[in-house]
């Protein structure tokens, strides 16, 4: 494993050297994971190309952090980790507690410890929220985990159904996603900010998931509106590790196609 504390000096292509094939980034014997460390399972390009086979168990994921986002084996819904608990937002609209033996093909988690917190006033849409969060960042050259707690006038979320082999590419798989509009809902937005240099490895910019306070609804965030203040906490991260799926058909350097347009559709729903 190689960890790089100064990501501002790392070009996007060099992020591939962070890939590992085991769990050496996790504490041995189930110990406490380190602070300021983002642990990621696989890469966003691999997920875009249809790599949906789970390679990391939820039990292993919880060893790496207590806060994060991702998906499940076969792309079966959206993963939200809050306060050390992992939830699965299904395409039926249900949210269930994930089992320790379930697996994920893609996730990003950390042991959350806020470096800074803010009260954020009304925001009319997701784009405005992301602009406000951009302004709170100390730098756009580092990974950051965000947590936003409050009551939201509207949150639009999505969750894809489980896919069957041969797996379609992600932009085609989400054609069958289910979208839910939640109104006057208290809950938590959790997500990552990734620097532009991480393109292909992570989702550049903000990638947000939502879970309601009653843990009955959630998913990948497509839109959000709040007419009242919400609490924002930012955890700025200095270390980043990728667990690359051993035995995968996709390898660094194989993903030559520009997947930027696919990613916009996948992340923003347009």
Residues 203 and 68: their CA atoms lie apart, in Å, by 14
Tell me, what's the pLDDT at 262?
66
Multiple choice CATH, 7-112+238-268, 3.30.1330.80, 3.40.50.920, 1.10.10.10, 3.40.190.10 = 3.30.1330.80
Tell me, what's the pLDDT at 11?
32
Please give the chain's pLDDT, 270 residues, in tens: 333 333 333 333 333 333 333 334 454 455 788 999 999 999 999 999 999 999 999 999 999 999 999 999 999 999 999 999 999 999 999 999 999 999 999 999 999 999 999 999 999 999 999 999 999 999 999 999 999 999 999 999 999 999 999 999 999 999 999 999 999 999 999 999 999 999 999 999 999 999 999 999 999 999 999 999 999 999 999 999 999 876 555 544 444 455 656 656 555 555
DSSP letter string over 5-46?
Answer: S-GGG--GGGGGGGEESSSTTSPGGG-PPPBSEEEEES-HHH
Q: Can you tell me whether residue 78 is helix, strand or coil?
A: strand
List the Cα angle 128/106/111 in 5-degree steps.
70
Which residue(s) pair with 81 in the sheet? 68, 86
Residues 59 and 232: their CA atoms lie apart, in Å, by 28
Domain residue extents for the chain: 7-112+238-268, 116-236
What CATH number belongs to 116-236? Answer: 3.30.1330.80
Q: Output the six-digit token pair for 253.
A: 């350097």
Tell me, what's the pLDDT at 259?
63
């Amino acid at each position: 494993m190689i960890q790089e504390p100064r990501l501002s000096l790392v070009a996007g292509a060099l992020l591939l050297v962070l890939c590992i094939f085991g769990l050496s980034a996790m504490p041995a014997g189930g110990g406490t994971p380190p602070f300021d460390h983002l642990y990621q399972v696989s890469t966003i390009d691999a997920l875009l190309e249809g790599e949906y086979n789970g390679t990391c168990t939820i039990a292993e994921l919880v060893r790496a952090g207590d806060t994060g986002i991702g998906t499940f084996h076969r792309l079966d819904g959206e993963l939200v980790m809050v306060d050390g608990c992992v939830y699965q937002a299904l395409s039926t609209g249900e949210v269930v507690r994930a089992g320790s033996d379930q697996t994920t093909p893609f996730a990003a988690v950390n042991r959350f410890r806020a470096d800074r917190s803010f009260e954020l006033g009304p925001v009319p849409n997701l784009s405005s929220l992301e602009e406000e969060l951009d302004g709170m960042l100390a730098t756009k050259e580092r990974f950051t985990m965000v947590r936003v707690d409050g009551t939201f006038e509207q949150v639009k979320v999505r969750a894809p159904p489980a896919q069957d082999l041969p797996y379609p590419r992600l932009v085609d798989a989400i054609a069958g996603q289910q979208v839910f509009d939640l109104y006057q809902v208290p809950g938590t937005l959790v997500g990552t900010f990734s620097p532009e240099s991480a393109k292909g490895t992570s989702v550049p910019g903000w990638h947000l998931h939502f879970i309601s306070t009653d843990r009955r609804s959630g998913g990948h965030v497509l839109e959000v509106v709040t007419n009242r203040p919400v609490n924002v906490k930012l955890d700025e991260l200095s270390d980043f590790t990728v667990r690359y799926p051993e035995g995968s058909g996709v390898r660094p350097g194989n993903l030559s196609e520009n997947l930027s347009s696919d990613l916009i559709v996948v992340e923003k729903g347009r």
